[in-house]
């Protein structure tokens, strides 16, 4: 089994690690374009063009499924990507985990990039799955870029800024950008002093990985556990910043 993942940068590590956990034999293709980051401030047309480039490069390696491991790309380009690649290649988008976060009601904050925050796509998810929860959208400018570059000071500042705008008494936080899952422990620590007891964080990696495996035509097909990295379609290695996060460390010893 071979599954490809695309993202602007290393945000795809969370879903890749989840896939490795669920299927240790899976061959992974990680296709990104870190030189083009951040995608959050870009226009929908620019995001779609960049995403298509990453997906076409991954599709050339004939994976069994392709994960759009990027919330911004899923918002602005998923329909375009599916129109070009399906039905030959199943395409799995990343949806913010609003439904499980809101199932018990209470106060929910959605941390996301500026491009996703307030988008018709996210507002539609809130309308359809928010239930009785009191939901606040929290834009997190600079956080994904800081995570991408392993800039500890910038990560701390961006998290502190978003935490200050997260309502007191928040019961759950939806991590609406895949990069944020790499620093979920730091997000929890920043919000915990003013959050409700038992604060929960909701990422998408596990659910996306499970859905990708379900979409594979022949799930009994085995792989050899290899890793292939593409940057703008060119063979590459995991960037040094990947080693700063547990999900990156889990993949760093693999070779294509």
Summarised one tens digit per residue, pLDDT across range 192-224 is 999 999 999 999 999 999 999 999 999 888 999
Please name the residue that has the structure tokens 């701390």: 156
Considering the chain, what percentage of its residues have pLDDT values greater than 70? Answer: 98
| CA distance linking residue 2 with residue 241, whole number of Å | 25
Whole-number pLDDT of residue 101: 97
Going by the DSSP 8-state scheme, the letter that residue 41 receives in this structure is T
Task: Evaluate if residue 254 carries a pLDDT over 60.
Answer: no
| CA distance linking residue 159 with residue 183, whole number of Å | 9
Task: Evaluate if residue 71 carries a pLDDT over 70.
Answer: yes
Catalytically active residues, by annotation? 70, 177
4: helix, strand or coil? strand
Structure tokens at 98: 């609003």
Structure tokens at 55: 């997906």
Domains belonging to the chain, first-starting first, are 2-94+205-252 (3.40.50.1860), 98-202 (3.40.50.1860)
| Residue 183 and residue 140 in contact, taking contact as beta carbons nearer than 8 Å | no
Task: Evaluate if residue 19 carries a pLDDT over 80.
Answer: yes
| CA distance linking residue 210 with residue 140, whole number of Å | 27
49: helix, strand or coil? helix
Q: What mean pLDDT is predicted for residues 22-35?
A: 95
Structure tokens at 61: 């390696």
DSSP H or E segment with residue 65 = strand 65-68
- Mean pLDDT, rounded, of the chain: 94
Q: Is the dihedral of CA 63, 147, 183, 120 positive or negative?
A: negative
Question: Model pTM greater than 0.85?
Answer: yes
Q: What is the pLDDT of residues 110-133, one digit of tens each?
A: 999 888 898 888 999 999 999 999
Whole-number pLDDT of residue 253: 60
Please name the residue that has the structure tokens 């999900």: 247
Q: What is the pLDDT of residues 127-175, one digit of tens each?
A: 999 999 999 999 999 999 999 999 999 999 999 999 999 999 999 999 9
Q: With cut-offs at 50, 70 and 90, classify the pLDDT of residue 256.
A: very low
């Amino acid at each position: 089994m071979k599954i490809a993942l695309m993202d602007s940068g290393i945000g795809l590590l969370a879903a890749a690690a989840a896939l490795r956990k669920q299927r240790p034999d899976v061959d992974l293709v990680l296709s990104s374009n870190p030189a083009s980051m951040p995608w959050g401030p870009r226009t929908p047309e620019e995001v779609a063009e960049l995403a298509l480039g990453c997906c076409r490069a991954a599709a050339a390696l004939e994976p069994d499924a392709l994960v759009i491991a990027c919330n911004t790309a899923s918002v602005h380009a998923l329909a375009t990507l599916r129109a070009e690649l399906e039905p030959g290649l199943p395409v799995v988008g990343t949806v913010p985990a609003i439904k499980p976060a809101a199932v018990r009601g209470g106060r929910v904050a959605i941390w996301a990039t500026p491009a996703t925050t307030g988008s018709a796509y996210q507002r539609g998810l809130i309308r359809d799955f928010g239930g009785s929860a009191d939901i606040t959208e929290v834009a997190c400018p600079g956080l994904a870029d800081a995570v991408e570059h392993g800039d500890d000071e910038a990560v701390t500042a961006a998290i502190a800024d978003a935490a200050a705008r997260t309502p007191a008494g928040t019961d759950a936080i939806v991590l609406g950008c895949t990069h944020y899952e790499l620093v979920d422990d730091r997000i929890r620590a920043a919000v915990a002093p003013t959050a409700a007891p038992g604060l929960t964080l909701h990422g998408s990696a596990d659910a996306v990985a499970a859905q990708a495996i379900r979409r594979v035509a022949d799930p009994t097909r085995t792989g050899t556990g290899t890793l292939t990295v593409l940057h703008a379609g060119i063979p590459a290695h995991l960037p040094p910043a990947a080693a700063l996060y547990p999900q990156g460390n889990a993949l760093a010893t693999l070779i294509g």
